[in-house]
Structure 1
Amino acid sequence: DLHHRFSDTVKRWWPDKGTFDYYTALADHDRILHGRHLNQTLTFYEGNATISAGSLHYALVSLGTPNVTFLVALDTGSDLFWVPCDCKQCAPDIEFNIYSPNRSSTSKRVPCSNKLCQSKCTGASNCPYTVAYMSANTSSSGILIEDVMYLTTEDEAVDAQIVFGCGQVQSGLFLDGAAPNGLFGLGMGKTSVPSILSTAGLTADSFSMCFGQDGLGRIIFGDKGSLDQEETPFNPRPLYNVSVTGLRVGTSTDTNFSAIVDSGTSLTSLADPAYTHLSESFNSQVQDNRDPKIPFEYCYYINPNENSTMIPNVSLTMKGGGQFSVFVPIAVVAQYVYCLAVVKSSDLNIIGQNFMTGHRIVFDREKSVLGWKKFDCYDVENSTTLPLNPRNSSPAAAVGPNSYTPEA
């Protein structure tokens, strides 16, 4: 007999869903199944699977000697990677691992003289860090540490020396369940792990993330995507900022704006005039009755006697002409109730996880372009990569009007 790995028959051999052991088993399974097909790129040693939980995608990362594993949130909107460490104020009742430099034989404290130290300290003292995030009163602070992060190619393990934050004090949403086991910054800054890996010559300066509609995904360092993907240039800003030249809703096309592409934001947020054009065009083409009692602004009641309902197609035209289809613009929030899953913003336009669902997104920092392609995250496809040593249906995001937005 054939059984899905989460069927009742198989569950007796799998840890309970949502536990740390569950995510470890899931990543191990995927690493065995797919790892041998990867090109000369780098993935986490624990596997390249990412898991959607709440408003963020998470991956398993191993650090130190002996190695300790962390379930970290992946955030393209910030740079520094940090984990809870020698905690003075960390997430309460945490059941995950805590890092301590004194327990790792390969750990080194980063001095103020290190080029990655961005504090105004001097000399050989420990380099302190503080990162404040956009979400209200949310921050992490501590000291910088250098230690081993365990990665793998298709053929061999790679012990990469990286610099990360020993997060001793967290505040705000980090104390309320957001990223309780650490935040993995994937931004453009020199302290981000993609920057450190490419500077060390371990990978190309590029990485990809795939967002599946089942909540699972992939992350691959050094992946430059495929020759047939769509691309648009990044704007010269510190974040992954792109220009949208058209917003199409059904038969209506209008407006242009710039937006940040951010894996750390669950629901796309738009400021006017883009928000008004999208929401009013969507509303004018929906045939279901609007339900005003839901926290989202535009929600609709599905007639239970109808076999199906018509949802207007939504797509973005990017600078250069590439078409970015939004496969799941809605969130089903209750039985027979769905909402346009876009939040109105006062200033920033952010393309969040829900708009990226169903795509492989390539953050190619060498070419300074964003690439994308409709993709099944379980498919394996040849990608344009560099060798190890180049010198030789429903959205996966949480369906709530308030998204965690951790850009620094």
Structure 2
Amino acid sequence: MAFMETLLSLISLLSSALLLHAAIEGPKPITLSLIHPFSPHSPFYPGNITDIEKIDILIQGTNIRIHHLFSTMRERNWNGSSEVEDIAATVQYTGLYFVTQVGIGSFSPFPSGKGLPYLLAIDTGSQLTWVQCEGCNPCFPLQQPNFPYNRSQSYKSIPCGDPTCPTPNQNCFQSFCGFMIRSGEDPPASTAGAIIRETLTFPSDFGGTESYHNLFLGCGFQSYHYEFPQPNKIGGILGLGFEGTRTLPFQNQVGKKRFSYCLLNSENTNSQLYIGGAIMEGPQVLSTPLLKGSNEALYYLDLQDISIQNIRLRLQGSFSGGSVIDSGSPVTVLLPNVYAHVRIGFVQYFEQFHIQPYDSGSRPRDLPMLDLCFPNPSGFDRFPTMTFHFRGADLVVHPDGIFALVRNYFCVLLKSGPVTLIGAFQQTQYKFSYDFELGDRRQGEIGALRFVPQDCGSPD
């Protein structure tokens, strides 16, 4: 149950550079391979940092993610138009993103009109795919040139008021179909621009490429308050958030009914994110409904209770507003009253082994930014499981997905916050499938989340 192994499992999902292995229309999915971000080959490689610094990166990433998703504000009458749809997008650099290399546009100097390569952060909390475009003012820092949309042979503009504009009420940016993203606080980051139609191209295992034509793509022209460390390599967002039958999310545009991912357990072994593919089936597969919630781009679950080492905490009715499952948040966040009960549950469990948590007087200076940490007696290995009891399915999180072990202490990787959100650290060693062909629409279900225990470093 080594800390570094579990930490690497998490980061490989959250902070990985995703390189496309294959993009084949039909029954096969788009398959993205994950590369560990702390590898020197990753665009997010932070250099030689300590274990404590790595844990603190997770906590900082979770705080930023919560601000982006749940502190959003709507802009009215910007640029003289009506209210523009507010799309929650995680675009501030934290080193905690999926990215995929995507070819954008068609340019004649390249064979067969190949697109220019850009790294886009994959975000299940965003409904729109967008890239920063040439002519932006102001712009966020980007290591490569901004996308030269006017020189692309496949570029098609969408006029303001055109009935095909996918944003509500045909909102406009100047004379074009427009979008605006506003997220975070103190001050909020924001991007505004035009929605265009373009070609996105992915490399194939077979040496060629696979292209998807005439897709909606946001072209960012005005960006404020981004704090990217240099050199920044993220050019925009690949949106996998939910938006019903509308066509903005990438998986809807390419006609895929599901996507899935699995966290690997080693930095030396690749894992995959799939967009499309067959329904996940088998005797061990569990299923719980995906629900609508207050943030229309996110995926909500009916969390009914939590157990510590099979002891129910009897929290029924405590999860007001629903519970989000999010691959973009490193650490699970619990409402304050829920967190208080879970904290007591862990404290009571370790009391039987005469292990007491650090308080403000005994807390070592070098602990990470976590509330609940304990001294780790030599040879101790009786760590508990934590179970999330969803409607119809129990997600049993093993100790590797709960505790960060560093030298002579361990900490519980949970946070108190304004929402209940199941983060990626608690999703380790499972394969998750978000399936939009399943679910009872009459009951307000938008699909089903299916999951199964899996050694994510092994072949399917």
TM value normalised by structure 1 = 0.73
1:56 aligns with 2:113: no
Give the distance between the partners of 1:123 and 1:251, measured in 2 at CA. 54
Corresponding position of 2:442? none
1:161-198: CA deviations, max 9, x gaps? Answer: 22121123334456468983322211112311012112
Quickly say closer, same or farther: Cα 1:131–1:38, change in 2 above 3 A: closer
Quickly say closer, same or farther: Cα 1:85–1:208, change in 2 above 3 A: same
SS in 2 for 1:311: coil
Aligned-pair distance for 1:342?
1.1
2:453 pairs with one of 374, 389, 399:
374
Give the distance between the partners of 2:168 and 2:133, measured in 1 at CA. 20
Give the distance between the partners of 2:412 and 2:265, measured in 1 at CA. 17
Corresponding position of 1:73? 121
SS in 2 for 1:69: strand
Quickly say closer, same or farther: Cα 1:356–1:272, change in 2 above 3 A: same
Quickly say closer, same or farther: Cα 1:280–1:369, change in 2 above 3 A: same
Aligned-pair distance for 1:154?
7.7
SS in 2 for 1:109: coil
1:208 aligns with 2:260: yes
Amino acid at match of 1:49: L
1:195 aligns with 2:252: yes
What percent identity do the matched residue pairs reach?
19
Task: Write out aligned runs for 1:2-401 (5 A).
Answer: 27=19, 31=21, 40-43=27-30, 47-49=32-34, 51-52=36-37, 54-65=95-106, 66-86=114-134, 87-92=136-141, 94-96=142-144, 98-112=146-160, 113=162, 114-118=164-168, 120-121=170-171, 125-134=175-184, 137-151=188-202, 157-161=209-213, 162-172=215-225, 175=228, 180-189=234-243, 190=246, 191-198=248-255, 203=256, 205-214=257-266, 217-228=271-282, 229-237=285-293, 238=296, 239-254=298-313, 255-256=315-316, 257=319, 258-286=322-350, 287=353, 288-291=355-358, 292=363, 293=365, 294=367, 295-303=369-377, 306-320=378-392, 322-327=393-398, 328-330=400-402, 332=404, 334-346=406-418, 348-367=419-438, 368-381=447-460
SS in 1 for 2:302: strand
1:282-308: CA deviations, max 9, x gaps? Answer: 2222354534354211022324xx134
Amino acid at match of 1:140: T
Corresponding position of 1:9? none
Aligned length: 342
Aligned-pair distance for 1:268?
1.1
Judge conservation of contact 1:266–1:353 (CA < 8 Å) in 2.
yes
Aligned-pair distance for 1:226?
2.1
Corresponding position of 1:14? none
SS in 1 for 2:180: strand
Amino acid at match of 1:193: F
5+ residue gaps, structure 2, are 1-11, 38-43, 45-94, 107-113, 439-446
363-372 or 207-216: which moved more? 207-216
Give the distance between the partners of 2:196 and 2:346, measured in 1 at CA. 49
5+ residue gaps, structure 1, are 1-17, 382-408
Judge conservation of contact 2:310–2:387 (CA < 8 Å) in 1.
no
Give the distance between the partners of 1:311 and 1:73, measured in 2 at CA. 35
Aligned-pair distance for 1:148?
1.0
Judge conservation of contact 1:268–1:353 (CA < 8 Å) in 2.
yes
1:54-105: CA deviations, max 9, x gaps? Answer: 322222222222322222222111211122222323433x324532202322
Quickly say closer, same or farther: Cα 1:225–1:343, change in 2 above 3 A: farther
Quickly say closer, same or farther: Cα 1:182–1:121, change in 2 above 3 A: closer
Question: Aligned-pair RMSD on alpha carbons?
Answer: 3.3
Judge conservation of contact 1:248–1:316 (CA < 8 Å) in 2.
yes
SS in 1 for 2:133: strand
Quickly say closer, same or farther: Cα 1:277–1:90, change in 2 above 3 A: farther
Aligned-pair distance for 1:242?
0.5
Amino acid at match of 1:186: L
Aligned-pair distance for 1:40?
2.7
Give the distance between the partners of 1:151 and 1:240, measured in 2 at CA. 26
Give the distance between the partners of 1:362 and 1:349, measured in 2 at CA. 20
Quickly say closer, same or farther: Cα 1:172–1:285, change in 2 above 3 A: farther
Amino acid at match of 2:155: S
Corresponding position of 1:385? none
